[in-house]
């Protein structure tokens, strides 16, 4: 990764954090559910004219911003500040899953955790209680996700003790 690309990504992270805060506070005040695209659009609108598009990166700028949004919402971005976040979907070396009937609170105590389907599928608007917390241990960092009873991915689902 070139220095310029890295600089752009870092700048986009700063802008995306601000946009997530803005969009989330509007969402909290109005009750409107926001989508990744809303944040991506907000970041894109904030960019100065002639803002460089990373040319040597593997992804278009919108996709980079979208990944940053996911990492902010999942908390992944804050687990390891020194590396550009890279989605790590195939590699699940160590996973712990905990059920909490009343629903999980976000690590910063700002709100109840949302069902993870809303991050995975932009058109999903699940408001069910997120009763499952999934911690994926990637060695150097962890990712936290939360799921309602319906949307917990099968790969995480504990074996049915009665079956």
Nearer to Zn ion, 143 or 145 (CB): 145
> Taking CB under 5 A as the rule, does residue 13 contact Zn ion?
no
Q: Which stretch binds Zn ion (CB under 5 A): 41-49, 75-83, 131-139, 147-155?
A: 147-155
Nearer to Zn ion, 61 or 151 (CB): 151
- Spatial distance between the Cα atoms of 40 and 61, rounded to a whole number of angstroms: 10
- DSSP bridge pairs for 94: 137
Structure tokens at 24: 């989330």
Give the phi and the psi of residue 42 in degrees, each rounded to 5: -65, -40
> Taking CB under 5 A as the rule, does residue 79 contact Zn ion?
no
> Taking CB under 5 A as the rule, does residue 117 contact Zn ion?
yes
Neighbours of 74 (CB within 10 A): 19
Phi-psi region of 139 (alpha: psi -120 to 50; beta: other; left: phi over 0): left
> Taking CB under 5 A as the rule, does residue 12 contact Zn ion?
no
Q: Which stretch binds Zn ion (CB under 5 A): 43-51, 56-64, 103-111, 116-124?
A: 116-124
Residues that bind Zn ion (CB under 5 A): 115, 117, 126, 128, 148, 151
């Amino acid at each position: 990764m070139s220095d310029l690309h890295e600089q752009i990504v870092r700048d986009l992270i700063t802008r995306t954090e601000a946009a997530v805060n803005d969009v989330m506070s509007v969402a909290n005040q109005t009750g409107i559910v926001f989508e990744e695209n809303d944040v991506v659009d907000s970041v894109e609108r904030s960019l100065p004219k002639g803002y460089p598009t990373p040319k040597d990166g593997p992804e278009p700028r919108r996709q980079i911003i979208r990944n940053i949004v996911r990492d902010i919402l999942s908390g992944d971005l804050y687990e390891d500040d020194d590396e550009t976040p890279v989605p790590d979907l195939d590699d699940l070396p160590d996973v712990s899953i905990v059920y909490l009937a009343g629903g999980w609170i976000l690590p910063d105590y700002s709100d109840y955790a949302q069902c993870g389907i809303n991050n995975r599928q932009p058109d999903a608007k699940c408001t069910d209680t997120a009763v499952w917390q999934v911690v994926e241990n990637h060695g150097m960092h962890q990712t936290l996700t939360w799921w309602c009873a319906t949307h917990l991915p099968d790969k995480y689902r504990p074996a049915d003790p009665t079956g």
